[in-house]
Amino acid sequence: MDARKARVLDYGFIELVDFMGGDARIVEAARICYRSDGGDDAALIRRLVTRGHNTPIKHAVMTWRVKCPLFVARQWLRHRMGTFNEQSLRYCAARREYYLPRGVPLIDEYVAAMEAAFDTYEALCAAGWKKERARGVLGTAVYTEFIWTVNAWSFINWLRKRLAAGAQYEHRCYARAAGELWRAAMPLTADAVLGDGLAAGD
Amino acid sequence: MDARKARVLDYGFIELVDFMGGDARIVEAARICYRSDGGDDAALIRRLVTRGHNTPIKHAVMTWRVKCPLFVARQWLRHRMGTFNEQSLRYCAARREYYLPRGVPLIDEYVAAMEAAFDTYEALCAAGWKKERARGVLGTAVYTEFIWTVNAWSFINWLRKRLAAGAQYEHRCYARAAGELWRAAMPLTADAVLGDGLAAGD
Amino acid sequence: MDARKARVLDYGFIELVDFMGGDARIVEAARICYRSDGGDDAALIRRLVTRGHNTPIKHAVMTWRVKCPLFVARQWLRHRMGTFNEQSLRYCAARREYYLPRGVPLIDEYVAAMEAAFDTYEALCAAGWKKERARGVLGTAVYTEFIWTVNAWSFINWLRKRLAAGAQYEHRCYARAAGELWRAAMPLTADAVLGDGLAAGD
Amino acid sequence: MDARKARVLDYGFIELVDFMGGDARIVEAARICYRSDGGDDAALIRRLVTRGHNTPIKHAVMTWRVKCPLFVARQWLRHRMGTFNEQSLRYCAARREYYLPRGVPLIDEYVAAMEAAFDTYEALCAAGWKKERARGVLGTAVYTEFIWTVNAWSFINWLRKRLAAGAQYEHRCYARAAGELWRAAMPLTADAVLGDGLAAGD
C-alpha cells in the first residue's frame, strides 16, 4: 500500500483520496483577519487548536475512502460531520465479506452464524425478496465502503473521540491509521493535535 | 395510541414528543424581515415553501421518538439533519425483537436465521465477547430506538424523499405516519407541503 | 420587562421567546443510549458538559429575539449556528436609532456623524436610490433586530466565546443578559456551564 | 487578471483560490452507491442536479477569496453554508475604500458622507476609541475581504439565489463572475446548473 492508504482490520482499509488547503491555508485564513504576514506558522496553528479557534481550520478539507464493518460505519456516520456516500445494499448484492475478530472464543460458531446468514440472504433474494429487505438478515459485521469528505476541524473531533480509551477497538484502529496518514498531509496541524504519538494499545 | 403517536410496521412506532413554534413562528420569522403584520398566513407559508425560502421555516422545531428496524434507522441518519440519540448496543444487550415482513415467501427460513443469530449473539456474550463486538452477528432487521430533533425545513426534506415512489416501503410507512402526526401540529405548513393527501400505495 | 426579556445597551434587548425540551429532555436523550432510568440529573448533565458529549444537549432548543447594533449582529451571525432571520434594510426604511457608547470622548462628533449619515440616507432614498443601496452610508452602530433559533449546545459555544475577556464589550453585555435568562429556563445545564456566576466586569 | 480571478464592481474581486474533486469526484461518489462504472458522466451529473440528489455533489469543494462591500458580505454570510474568515475591523484599521455606484443622482453628497464618516472614524481612533467601537460610524458600503470554503451543492444554492432577478444588483455581479470562474473548474456540473448562459442584465 502507498503512503496514502493503510490496511485496517482483516479486510478493511482507509485511504486519503485527496486534500485541499492543508497547513498553509489554515495559516492564510487565520491571517486574513489580522492582515498580518510574519510569525511562526507552527505556533499560530498550535494556538488555534488549543483555543478552539476553529474557523480557519475548517478551510482545510479532506476526502477519505473507507472500507469497514457496518457497525463501525454506523458509529462514524453518527458524528454527522462532513459528507458521506456509502455503498448501498438496496441496489448492490452484498458480498460475502465480514469482519473476523482475533483472539476470541467461539470463533467457529461466529463464522457459522455469519455464513448461515449469507446463505439465507441469497436464498431470499433468489426467491424474489427485494435486496433492500433481504439484507435484514445480514449482521453488522459485514463490510461496507464509503467516501467521506470532511473539513479538518470536524476530522479532528472525530479523531479525538475515536482515539480515546473508551472508543470501540475496531473503530480506534481506523482512527490510528487515519491519524498517521493525516500527519503526512498536514504535519503542523497533526503535531498540534496529536503531539509526538498516537494513543497506543487497545 | 394517542394523537401524537402512531404504530408503524409490526413492532415499531413514531411519536411526536414535542414541537416548538409551529406555523405561527414561521409567519412571525418571515415578517420580521419586512416589519409587516397583516396578510394571509396560509398564503405566506405557501409562498415560502414553494420558493424554497427556508430560513423562516427552520424556526419551527420538532422532537420525534422512533422505533424502527436498524436498516431504516441507517437510511434515516444518512439524511444528516438534526440531532439523533440512538439506543446503543455497545452498552445495552440487544432485545430479541426484529421486523417480520408480510406476504413474502420463505418466511420460516427468515425467522430461523434471525433466531439463530440471536442464539449466537447470546452465546458469544456469555462466553465473554464484548457486546459491541457480538452485535456483529445481528441482522439489520433488529429494532432500534432513537430520538430525533429536527427543524421543520429539514423534516420536510426527509418527508419528501421518504414519501417518494422510489423510497423503501418500510421507510415510507414511517414517513406517512409522521406526515399525519405533523399535520395535526402544523396544519398550514403541512397543507402547503403535502396538499390534501399523502402519497398512497406501496 | 418580564422574566424572559432584558434590556441591553441603550436601545437594545434580548428576549427568550420560546424553548423546548430543557434540562429534562437532555437527560432523557442521554438515557435512551443506556436504557437507564435512575441517577442524579444534575451530575449527569455536568458530565455531558464537561466531556463534550454534546448530542443529548442539542435536543434542547431555544428561540431568542434580539435588538442590537449591526456590528454586534455581524459577529453573532459569524457563529453560523442555528437559524437567523433579520430585519432587512432592502425592504424596510432604516429607523434613526443607533448605539451611543458612554464615557467616551468626542461623543458630539460621533452623534453628528451618525445624524449626517441618516440625513444623507434619507436624501438618497428621496432622490430615487434603492433602499438596499442607500443603506451603504449608514454606520454599523445602527440598531437591527433578528430572531435566532439555536440548540443548547451551540448556544453554550456562543455564550462561552462572548463571555470571554477578549470579547467585545457590547457583545458581552448581550451574552451576560442571555446567560441569566437561560439560567431561569434550564437551571441544571446553566449551572454546569456557568457555575455560580457570570464573568464579571468589562 | 488570470483565469481564476475576476474584478467585480469598482474595487472588488472574486478569486477561485482552490478546488478539490470537481466533476470527476461527484461521478465517483455517485457510483460508489451502485458499484457501477460505465455510462455518461454529463448525464449522470444532470440527473443528480435535477433530482436534488445532493450528497455526491458535496464531495466537490471550493475555496474563494472575495473583496466586496460590507452590505454584500452581510447577505453572503446569511447563507450560512461553508466556512468564512473575514478581515476584522476589531484588529485592523479600516481602509478608506468604499463602493461607488454608477448612474445615480446625488453622488457628490454620497461621497461627502462617506468621506466625513472616515474623518470621524479616524478622529475617534486618535482620541482613544477602540477600533471595534469606532467602526460604528462607517457605512456598509465600505469594502471588506473574506475567504470562503464551500461545497459545490451549497455553492449552487448561493449561485441560484444570487443570480435570480430579485437579488440585489451588487451581489448579482459577484454571482455572475463566480459562475463563470466555476464553469472553467467544473464544466459538467456548471452546464447542468446554468445551461448555456448566466442570467443577464440587471
The pLDDT value recorded for residue C7 is: 98
Residue D157: exposure state from Cβ atoms within 10 A (0-12, 13-18, ≥19): middle
The pLDDT value recorded for residue D87 is: 92
Of C30, C35, C63, nearest to B59 by CB-CB distance is C63
Residues C129 and C60 reside in one and the same domain: no
Residues B61 and B147 reside in one and the same domain: yes
Flag if A92 and D35 touch (Cβ within 8 Å): yes
Chain B hits for A99, Cβ within 8 Å: 136
Chain B hits for C87, Cβ within 8 Å: 32-33, 35
How many residues appear in chain A? 202
Residue B154 lies in a domain: yes
ipTM above 0.95? no
pTM to 2 decimals? 0.95
The pLDDT value recorded for residue B192 is: 97
Choice between A195 and A34, residue whose per-residue pLDDT is larger: A195
Chain C hits for D137, Cβ within 8 Å: 110, 113-114, 117, 139, 141
The pLDDT value recorded for residue C53 is: 87
Residue C94 lies in a domain: no
* pLDDT > 70: percent of chain B: 94
User: Among B7, B23, B1, which residue's Cα sits nearest to residue B178?
Assistant: B7
Residue B12 lies in a domain: yes
Tell me: the pLDDT tens digits for A104-144?
999 999 999 999 999 999 999 999 999 999 999 999 999 99
Dist CA C66 CA C7 (whole Å): 10
Residues B83 and B20 reside in one and the same domain: yes
- Report the sign of the C-alpha dihedral through residues C159, A61, A32, C133, in that order: negative
Write out the residue range of the structural domain in which residue D79 sits.
Answer: 1-196
In SS3 terms, B83-147 reads as EEEECCCCCCCCCCCECCCCCCCCHHHHHHHHHHHHHHHHHHHHCCCCHHHHHHHCECCEEEEEE
Residues B154 and B169 reside in one and the same domain: yes
The pLDDT value recorded for residue A81 is: 86
CA–CA distance from B183 to each of A80, B23, B24, B81, B109 (Å)? 28, 11, 14, 20, 40
- Report the sign of the C-alpha dihedral through residues A101, A107, A110, A112, in that order: positive
User: Among B177, B175, B9, which residue's Cα sits nearest to residue B79?
Assistant: B175
Lowest mean pLDDT, pick from B18-22, C195-199, D32-36, D94-98? C195-199
Residues C68 and C158 reside in one and the same domain: yes
Q: Of these residues, C162, C172, C176, C183, which one is catalytic? A: C162
Tell me: the pLDDT tens digits for C145-155?
999 999 999 99
Q: Which three cell numbers stand for residue B55?
A: 430560513
Q: Which three cell numbers stand for residue B123?
A: 452465546
SS3 D146: strand
Lowest mean pLDDT, pick from A77-81, A147-151, A180-184, D141-145? A77-81
Tell me what the pLDDT averaged over chain A comes to. Answer: 93
Tell me: the pLDDT tens digits for C24-71?
999 999 998 776 666 899 999 999 999 888 999 999 999 999 999 999
Dist CA B15 CA B6 (whole Å): 6
CA–CA distance from C199 to each of A138, C9, C40, C158 (Å)? 54, 17, 27, 14
Distance from the A90 Cα atom to the nearest Cα atom in chain D, whole angstroms: 9
Residues B48 and B67 reside in one and the same domain: yes
Dist CA A152 CA A64 (whole Å): 12
Flag if B35 and C87 touch (Cβ within 8 Å): yes
pLDDT tops 90 at residue A8 = yes
Distance from the B186 Cα atom to the nearest Cα atom in chain A, whole angstroms: 27
Chain B hits for C34, Cβ within 8 Å: 88, 91-92
* Listed ranges C29-33, D78-82, D164-168; the one with the highest mean pLDDT: D164-168
The pLDDT value recorded for residue B200 is: 44
The pLDDT value recorded for residue B201 is: 42
Residues C125 and C146 reside in one and the same domain: no
pLDDT band for position C202 (cuts 50, 70, 90): very low
Of C84, C124, C139, nearest to D110 by CB-CB distance is C124
pLDDT tops 60 at residue B4 = yes
Q: Which residue has the cell 440527473?
A: D47
CB atoms within 10 A of CB D115: 12
Query: Stretch A151-175: mean pLDDT, rounded?
Result: 96
Of A74, A139, A169, nearest to B138 by CB-CB distance is A139
Flag if A132 and B78 touch (Cβ within 8 Å): no
Residue B180 lies in a domain: yes
pLDDT band for position D198 (cuts 50, 70, 90): low
How many residues appear in chain C? 202
> For the packed helices C107-126 and D107-126, what is the interaxial angle rounded to 10 degrees?
160
The pLDDT value recorded for residue B202 is: 39
Dist CA D28 CA D39 (whole Å): 12
Residues B151 and B76 reside in one and the same domain: yes
Query: Stretch D47-69: mean pLDDT, rounded?
Result: 95
Residue B18 lies in a domain: yes
pLDDT tops 60 at residue A200 = no
Query: Stretch A178-202: mean pLDDT, rounded?
Result: 84
CB pairs under 8 A between B and C: 89
Distance from the B168 Cα atom to the nearest Cα atom in chain A, whole angstroms: 7
- Report the sign of the C-alpha dihedral through residues B57, A55, D189, D30, in that order: negative
Query: H or E segment at A18?
Result: strand A12-20
pLDDT tops 50 at residue C201 = no
Residue B60 lies in a domain: yes
Residues B157 and B190 reside in one and the same domain: yes
Residues C132 and C52 reside in one and the same domain: no
Query: Stretch B129-143: mean pLDDT, rounded?
Result: 97
CB atoms within 10 A of CB C172: 20
Q: Which residue has the cell 433602499?
A: C131
Flag if A106 and B123 touch (Cβ within 8 Å): yes
Query: Stretch A159-175: mean pLDDT, rounded?
Result: 96
pLDDT band for position D185 (cuts 50, 70, 90): very high
pLDDT tops 90 at residue D37 = no
pLDDT band for position B3 (cuts 50, 70, 90): confident
Strands (E), C3-135: 5-8, 12-20, 61-69, 83-86
Q: Give the best residue of B68, B98, B138 to mutate against chain A (max A CB count within 10 A).
A: B138
Tell me: the pLDDT tens digits for D115-162?
999 999 999 999 999 999 999 999 999 999 999 999 999 999 999 999
Residues B17 and B49 reside in one and the same domain: yes
Residue C201 lies in a domain: no
Residue in chain C closest to D118 (alpha carbons) equals: C113
Distance from the B106 Cα atom to the nearest Cα atom in chain A, whole angstroms: 7
Q: D touches which chains (3+ CB pairs under 8 A)?
A: A, C
Residues C33 and C117 reside in one and the same domain: no
Split into its structural domains, chain C has a count of 2
Contact D177, D107 (CB under 8 A): no
For residue D123, the domain's CATH number is 3.30.1360.170
The pLDDT value recorded for residue B52 is: 85
- HSE-up of residue D80 (Cα within 13 Å, Cβ side): 15
Query: Stretch D57-69: mean pLDDT, rounded?
Result: 98
What is the edge-to-edge ordering of all strands in the sheet holding D5-8?
A: D5-8, D12-20, D61-69, D143-151, D83-86
Residue in chain A closest to D95 (alpha carbons) equals: A35
Chain C hits for D80, Cβ within 8 Å: 77, 80, 84
Residue B50 lies in a domain: yes
pLDDT tops 60 at residue D199 = no
Residue type, A43: A
Q: Give the best residue of D16, D57, D59 to mutate against chain A (max A CB count within 10 A).
A: D59
